Every structure is written in structure tokens, then in C-alpha cells.
Chains A and B, each alone.
Chain A
Amino acid sequence: MDMARLFGAGALALLLAGCAAGPGGSIYIPAATPPDYDRNSRRAPEPATPVPSPTQEPTEPATAQPQPESEPSPSPSYQDQGEALSGAAASLVRKADSLLAQGNVPAAIGQLERAQRIAPRSAEVYFKLAEAYVAAGNLSAAEQFTLKGLSLAGSNDAMQRAGWLLLADIRRARGNVAGADQAESRAAAR
């Protein structure tokens, strides 16, 4: 089991921290109708926009009614890569790093899960979780978290390379030589 290399790949992922945010990303939208209403009076809040009564709604399927011409329909959204770690999430990752260095793996995973909850679309958080699971000796979880990180790396070549190398090491450690070679060639292709 090539642990040294494993941590090497992890260190690479860490080096990448903070670089390359995706274009656009998931747009944050404040609440349209904050549910702040007087609980005792059971009075509904005034909606910000006029809401048609349910009877006016299109029923399924909706194609029977033509789309209003004035309403341009946006197209489905996608992005080329995940999001960078926010400052708060990065601080939790650093805290996890020092816990890992102290050998306190469960607490490190606890901090990384906090980071994951506030930065769930960042590839790095998942690569870090993979590292922590390697330290915990749970290679199958480590592999899954690497795959999740890769699913968010998108067009970020450096992130892709780090992820595939990490995956290659984990697979080799699990005895999956073919899978490791395949992952390594994916890394080389980036």
C-alpha cells in the first residue's frame, strides 16, 4: 500500500486550495416570500408577487395551454466546474488538517463534514474527505468521495489531475491495478 504517494496526491489537492472558481456557479436567490407571519393570527403574509388561484393553474400535462409569448423561457442551467472553497470552509479544512496531523481522524472527519455542508459543491472538500478516510483505513469510502470530488472538478484541469491521481493511489491500495492504471492515464490526459 503506497501510503506515501497517497498523501502526496492529497498534498497536491491541498496546494490547489483556493484556485480556480467556476464561471457563474449556482446563483444565490434570497427568499421571495419570507414565512414571517403572525403564528397566532394564522394570517398568511402578503405575497410579493400576485399569486393566481389554484384553479387558474395549468394542470398536468401543461402542453395543452400555450406558453405566454411575453415570457421568455430560460434554458436549463449547468456549469463547467464546481465552486471554490469559501473562507469559512477553508478554515474548517485547515482545522481538519491539524486534527489529522494529531491523528484524531474522527474529529477531522467531523470538521470536514461541517465544511461539506457549507461548501457542498466544492471538489476539494470531497478530496479532503477521501484523504481522511484513507487515514481511517476506509478505502472504499475514500474512493467514493474521490469520485464525488471528480464529479465537481469539471473543466478545472489541475483539480481533475489531483483527483485522478488520488483515485489511482486509492485503487492501487485496494488491489485494483487495472482501475488504478486507468485513473492514472486519465490524470495524464489532463
Chain B
Amino acid sequence: MKKSSSSGKTSRKPSNKPASAGRRAWVWGLLGRLCLVGIVVLAGWMVYLDAVVTSRFEGRRFEVPSRVYARPLELYDGASISVGGLRRELELAGYRQGDGRRPGTFQQSSNRFVISTRGFAFSDGVEPRRRLSLSVVGDRVSGFRVLSGDPSPIVRLEPAQIGGIYPAHKEDRILIQRSDLPPLFEEALLAIEDRDFYEHVGVSPLAIARAMWVNLQAGRVVQGGSTLTQQLVKNFYLTREQTLVRKGNEALMSLLLEWHYDKSDILETYLNEVYLGQAGVRGIHGFGLASQFYFGQSLAELELDQVALLVALVKGPSYYDPRRHPERAKRRRNLVLDVLADSGHIDDATARQFQARPLGVTGQPSFTENRYPAFVDLVRRHLARDYREEDLQSEGLRIFTTLNPSIQYAAEFSVRQTLERLDGSGERQLESAMVVTSRDSGEVVALVGGRDPRYAGFNRALDARRPIGSLIKPFVYLAALQHPDKYTLVTPVHDKGFALVFDDGRRWEPKNYDGEERGDVPLHLALSRSYNLPTVRVGLDVGVDSVVDMLHELGVAEPISEYPSMLLGAVSMTPVTVAQAYQGLATSGFNTPLRTIRQVTDAQGEPLSRYNLAIEQVLDPAATHLVQYVMQETMQEGTGRSAYYRVSQELSLAGKTGTTDDGRDSWFAGFSGDWLAVAWVGRDDNGATTLSGASGALPVWADFMASVPQHGFSPVVPDGVEYHWVNPQTASLSGKHCDNARLVPFIAGSEPTATDSCAGSLGGRLRGWFEELF
């Protein structure tokens, strides 16, 4: 500076135009100063950008949404599944019909399947890739064989993804590493997007020049001049606006990124960051998810034509959307294949072979965001006990749930079919909910929150608290039967009206559903026919509090009023709570907390929490067995018997109807050997209907039970229970071949002592002798 100003001085005298020379020197001086300021500012800006680039890249943790998986399908000889069910399960897990040799494909010829699994690392052990062969006969797997791979009599398929928990900005991705890339992927990507990736320093003037030349020759835009690094910077740090300043920043940041990090790091980040499509509000980021989204396959499984399509999409996922603009997408894909051939990675014949293939994208994304909104809603509520929402949205957790897609399908189907039928019979505005659990494990296997199972609105299975009506009765009688000195299944109970008068003067006069009164009836009949009057009498005798306590022990967390009217079900519960309470009835008195999650692992598959099977014996197993007997009688002779219009007579079931005043709520709860199901039908506005438990919820329940292959209910007789032939009308011991004889379980010592006239008579014995002879 000094030098320049002094030279200005020295040049003043000899100059002829001292004024103009002075002005020029002044301009130069100013420019020099500005330049210096510019350099300082630029240096400062570079330092700032450098900090931005490094801090973001160092702490580069993609927000990866949590993935929610269905339970994995277990295949083994005897496994319960139908042909259609197995197909649906395979398709849901992203299998495609094919040769049954490539992992992720299956071959089906009528009831025979060959399945080539992809393998999956479960936290309790790895399931390696295998080829399986099996048949489905009578809704069971038979002839199960492992054709290749580690032999095993039982194999788990990969679980189907049924949902995700997304961050607010709805970016979704499946993180991949370079080692996950299929052959020629990197070559194709670099050939089309950034040929000099391994040579340039972040920006490539050569590439820009070449792109211009190629595009001019082609007469259209074939190549872009941005390097992958620039594309990454643009997505990673900058807004979408197209200004010169932003372009400058992009170039500077690209240089800085390349200066700090190696090519491999940058490429891997790019592979996971690039935007490749849109599913509703959910942005599809990275090639890992894009592969699932467009092909229902993992990236490593892709063939060259599929690789070329994904690479083609980088330029414009919306413009080249293969689902909306298949022709455009195909032209671009074939261009990628041409470029691969031109650059010598494949020969022309190979290129032509793959160019001839159809696009092969799945009709719809193989998983939708919200296929099972009601179930995932319950999963999220359970997760909220142990996990923060932010972690669920960003840490890429894997949530392994208990959802059984086959059972869910049957439950949705039954709700929809029955409600359409009820619509036809003149009922309007009916809604429904259903919960299905595994009887012995308490796993929630299906959940329907309303008649439209895809609608993620009011979840009636979790949030509709309704009076449960007669569903309470098994608990009332269970409380009584725990006193075998006083109550057995044949104890006469009084079916006669009465009035309770409370201290404040109010009167309560319960009535039977049909308004009739029958005098003395045996206890089992009072329950299987759902008579109200004897139930209240028995309940008042054993104490309302003992029924309330029992419900709490069975896992009902909400407070329950101790008014006598609760004995007829004036207590409100959600369908899920009813399922919880019935779990203890369905097992031999074991409270089994309902679970929707088996395990949560981190993104690498390391277990974070396990939700193990837990049981606690809270009911007397002998008394529970007696109630189970009557709940079976209910299905065979009592209020539930219309179920057998739909269900095979051979399938033994146990259950109970429930109806509230004016048919506002129609309930059915019951179980087979394998599944416990609770169905509710009613109106959201709590309006009256013409339905009872037997005509509204029972058909839903029965349709479900009829459409699921399963074991009948056949409880093991607990210690201290004996079966006797009795005449329930006279509460006396009888003989197998006597009139009115029933084989009834008793807690040992509580059986009748009196013997009816038939039991010991010659006639009775002769009849038995002849019947056994023929």
C-alpha cells in the first residue's frame, strides 16, 4: 500500500495529466483496499462455512424413523395357515412370485410353495437365507423341508414392516452402507451423475463444460454439471432457492467438504441423503428406502435394470416417477443403461437385454404408512411408557410387534362384512371395534378401531368406553363359585324380581331381558341364559366388592363403581380392557398383561427392551374351570348358540354376550383354544339400536372365528375338580343315561350328596348297558 502510494507520488511530477493519474491511483488504491477487505470477509465467511460444514457432517446423524414390524411368520410342520393367508403374508413381507430361487421370491403351484428367504438377524439368533419347500393341507403346513441352507424344523420369515414413526418433517430413509450396493450401482451412479467424482475437488469445471457440450449435442439436458458433492451440499445445508449467492456457497462448501472428508464418506452420505420420491407427506430419502418403495426389495437384491431406474430418478423423482410417468421413466432408465454401455461397464447386448425389461415397480408401495392405524396406535401408547417421542422419530429403532397379519385380515373382514349386512337390515350409523389376543400369551394379534380399518381416526378399541352389560356376569359367578360350600353349578338360584331401596330413597328394580321370571333355576343355566335377577342376587350375596377386586386383579386399571347395578354391567370399559379382563377367564386364572411389543432394538439390532411374557395366577383355577364350562354351554345351548350357524360344530368355543339398555351397546367376548376375541357394535352417538349382543357383536365374532383355522377350546381339568353326572333340575347325582343328566364339573367335595331315583335304578342301568352294547 505504502509502496503504491509512494509510486503515485513519484509518478506525479513527470506526468502530463497529474489529475487523471491521481484519480487512477486513487481508484486502484480503493480497489486494493476493497480487495483486502473482501479477502478478510471471504476468509471469515470460509471459516464460518467450514464450521457449518464440519459440525453438520461430523454430527451427521440422519434422523431415521423407527420401523414397526409385524410378528414374523413361523413355518413348521403343523403351522396353522391357509393357502390364501400364506400368500398374503409373503406379499406383505415383500416377497414376489418368481422362481423361488432368488432370495425374496416364492413359487406356488396350487397348495405347494417353494420360498427363498432373505434371512434376518433377530436379536435372539440369526435366521440365515434358506430355500424352503412346503404344502398347505387342511389349513396346516405339511411336508416342511429346508431345500438349501442351514437345516431346521422351524424357520422364521423376515417380519413385514407395517408402519413407521416419523419425525415432523416426514423424511424417511433406510440407512445403507456402500457394501450394501448391488453390482454396478456405483458405476451407474457416477457415470450418469458425476463421472470425475474420484478426481475432482468438489467442483468440476471440466464436468460443467462437458455437460454443456453433451447437452448441446443431444439437444436436451442429458447431464448435469453439479458434482455429487455439490448435490449433497445443496440437500444437506442449503435452501432450495436458486440464487448466485447460493451457488457460490454451494461451491465453497463443496470444496471444504472435500478438503475435510474422504470420497467414501461423502458418497455414503449422498447415498442416504438423496431425495428419490414422495409417499403422501412422507419424503423418500436415500437409495435404501427407495428400493423398498419402488420394488419392495432391499437394495442389495436389485438387478441391473432396477439399479438403472433408481439412478435415473436422481435427476427428478417427480418428473420421472415410474408410477405416474412410466414412459418417461423408462426412457431415462434406458439412457442410464446406454451410458453404462458407452463407458464400457457392460456390453451392448447386456444393455439391450435389460432395456427390454418392463419397469417392474410394485403397484403400490409395499408398505403404506397407515395400513393398521388402530394397532400402531396401541403400539405407540405402549412405547410411550418407555421411550421419548424424539428418540422414536430419529434413532431408527426397530419395534417388533405382535400383530398377526392373517388374524388382522380376518378381523377386519368380519367387522366389515357383518356391518354391511346389518346396514342392509335397516340399522344405520353402526360402528364397531374388535380386539383379538393370543389366549395363552396375551399378545394382541389384531385390532380393529372402526368399520373402516384404514381410517386413522377415533380408535374405538382403545377409546370407546361403554357399559359392558352382561359381560360382567362370568366374574359375578366366578366370585360365587370360589365358595364351593355355598355355590356349585347346580345350586338353585332364585329368578324372581325384587327392589333395592337406597338410603337416599332411590329404588332399583332389575328385570330380566325378556321380562319373565322363572323361580329357581340351576346356577349354570342362570349364567348360560344370562338371566339378570339371579345374577344380582348372587352378586349381592358374595359382595359387589369381591367382583370389583377380581376385575382389578385381572388387570382392569380404571376405577369401578361399587353400585349394585355394576352386577349387571353398569360399568364402562373399552374393548381392550374387556380383553384384558377376559384373559384371566380364558386361561386357568392367570392374569396375562396384554402386549403389543415383543422387543425394541436399535438400528443395529441390539436389544434395547424386551417385553416378555408375564403371567400371574390371580383366580382359583378350579372355580375358573367351572365358569369356562358354563361359557362353553353358553355357546352350545345359551345366548351364544347362533355362533354355530357360522362356525363348525366341531370347534369348541366359550363366550358371553352383552347388551345394554335399548341396544346401545352390543358386545361379545369369548375364546377358542388359540384366540380370545372381543367385539363391540354400537353407535358413536350412543343412540339406541335394535341389536342385542347376540345379533350385533356375536355375528362379527362368529364370522371371525369361522374364518380362522384354529384349535378348539378344551381346558385341562385342574387339580381338585371332578366331573359327575347330575340332574341339575333336582341338584342330585344321576347316571349317564338318565333323563336330564349332565356331566358337570365340581370342586371336589362340593358335588351333590343326594342321588336321584334314576341313578341306582335297574331301568337306568339297563338303558346304559344296552346303549354301550350297540
A residues at B contact (CB < 8 Å): 22, 24-37, 42, 44, 47, 49, 51-55, 57-64, 67, 73-82, 86-89, 91-92, 95, 99, 106-107, 109-111, 113-114, 116-118, 120-121, 129, 141, 144-145, 147-148, 150-155
- Given contacts A62-B694, A110-B122, A120-B439, could you give 12 more A-B pairs where the C-beta distance is less than 8 Å? A27-B650, A31-B709, A34-B707, A53-B425, A55-B425, A74-B636, A76-B636, A77-B632, A87-B76, A88-B154, A110-B125, A113-B613
**Which segment of B38-46, B240-248, B282-290, B714-722 sits at the interface?**
B714-722
**Which segment of B250-258, B391-399, B406-414, B563-571 sits at the interface?**
B406-414
- B765 close to chain A: CB less than 8 A: no
B414/A27 in contact, CB under 8 A: no
A79/B714 in contact, CB under 8 A: yes
**Which segment of B60-68, B77-85, B94-102, B310-318 sits at the interface?**
B77-85
B633/A28 in contact, CB under 8 A: no
25 A–B contacts, CB within 8 A, in A order = A27-B650, A27-B711, A27-B712, A28-B80, A28-B709, A29-B710, A31-B139, A37-B413, A49-B645, A51-B645, A52-B645, A57-B642, A57-B698, A60-B639, A62-B637, A73-B636, A78-B717, A78-B745, A91-B153, A92-B154, A106-B607, A107-B123, A114-B154, A121-B711, A151-B587
A151 and B716 contact, Cβ closer than 8 Å, known pairs A47-B646, A54-B425:
yes
Query: B657: nearest residue on chain A (CB-CB)?
Result: A60
Complexed CA–CA distance, A148 and B587 (Å) = 9
Complexed CA–CA distance, A181 and B320 (Å) = 77
Query: A92: nearest residue on chain B (CB-CB)?
Result: B154
Complexed CA–CA distance, A121 and B742 (Å) = 27
Complexed CA–CA distance, A113 and B438 (Å) = 13
Which chain B residues in 501-535 approach chain A with CB under 8 Å?
Answer: 512-514, 516, 529-531
Complexed CA–CA distance, A35 and B710 (Å) = 14
Query: What are the 3 closest A-B residue pairs judged by CB atoms, nearest first?
Result: A110-B124, A88-B76, A76-B632
A76/B633 in contact, CB under 8 A: yes
Query: A79 CB to closest chain B CB, in angstroms?
Result: 5
Identify B710's interface contact among A28, A89, A113, CB under 8 A. Answer: A28
User: Which B residues are CB-close (under 8 A) to A145?
Assistant: 615
Complexed CA–CA distance, A60 and B692 (Å) = 6
B616/A144 in contact, CB under 8 A: yes
A30 and B709 contact, Cβ closer than 8 Å, known pairs A73-B636, A82-B716:
yes
Query: A79: nearest residue on chain B (CB-CB)?
Result: B714
Query: A27 CB to closest chain B CB, in angstroms?
Result: 5
A116/B441 in contact, CB under 8 A: yes
Complexed CA–CA distance, A135 and B590 (Å) = 23
Query: A106 CB to closest chain B CB, in angstroms?
Result: 6
User: Which A residues are CB-close (under 8 A) to B633?
Assistant: 76
Identify A74's interface contact among B79, B443, B587, B649, CB under 8 A. Answer: B649
A78/B715 in contact, CB under 8 A: yes
Complexed CA–CA distance, A154 and B717 (Å) = 6
B612/A28 in contact, CB under 8 A: no
Query: B746 CB to closest chain A CB, in angstroms?
Result: 13
B652/A154 in contact, CB under 8 A: no
B154/A24 in contact, CB under 8 A: no
User: Which B residues are CB-close (under 8 A) to A147?
Assistant: 590, 617
Query: B698: nearest residue on chain A (CB-CB)?
Result: A57
User: Which A residues are CB-close (under 8 A) to B673?
Assistant: 26, 121
- B236 close to chain A: CB less than 8 A: no
User: Which A residues are CB-close (under 8 A) to B629?
Assistant: 76, 78
Query: B530 CB to closest chain A CB, in angstroms?
Result: 5
Complexed CA–CA distance, A92 and B74 (Å) = 12
User: Which B residues are CB-close (under 8 A) to A29?
Assistant: 648, 650-651, 709-712
A26/B712 in contact, CB under 8 A: yes
User: Which B residues are CB-close (under 8 A) to A113?
Assistant: 441, 598, 612-613
Identify A32's interface contact among B85, B531, B638, B648, CB under 8 A. Answer: B648
Complexed CA–CA distance, A121 and B723 (Å) = 21
B124/A107 in contact, CB under 8 A: yes
Complexed CA–CA distance, A109 and B612 (Å) = 8
Complexed CA–CA distance, A148 and B651 (Å) = 24
User: Which B residues are CB-close (under 8 A) to A22?
Assistant: 716
User: Which A residues are CB-close (under 8 A) to B470?
Assistant: 60
B74/A33 in contact, CB under 8 A: no
B714/A61 in contact, CB under 8 A: no
Identify A27's interface contact among B124, B621, B714, B742, CB under 8 A. Answer: B714
Query: A145: nearest residue on chain B (CB-CB)?
Result: B615
- B269 close to chain A: CB less than 8 A: no
Query: B752 CB to closest chain A CB, in angstroms?
Result: 18
Query: B174 CB to closest chain A CB, in angstroms?
Result: 24
A30/B138 in contact, CB under 8 A: yes
Query: B122: nearest residue on chain A (CB-CB)?
Result: A110
User: Which B residues are CB-close (under 8 A) to A154?
Assistant: 716-717
User: Which B residues are CB-close (under 8 A) to A77?
Assistant: 632, 652, 712-715
B703/A33 in contact, CB under 8 A: yes
- B115 close to chain A: CB less than 8 A: no
- B743 close to chain A: CB less than 8 A: yes
- B724 close to chain A: CB less than 8 A: no
- B588 close to chain A: CB less than 8 A: yes
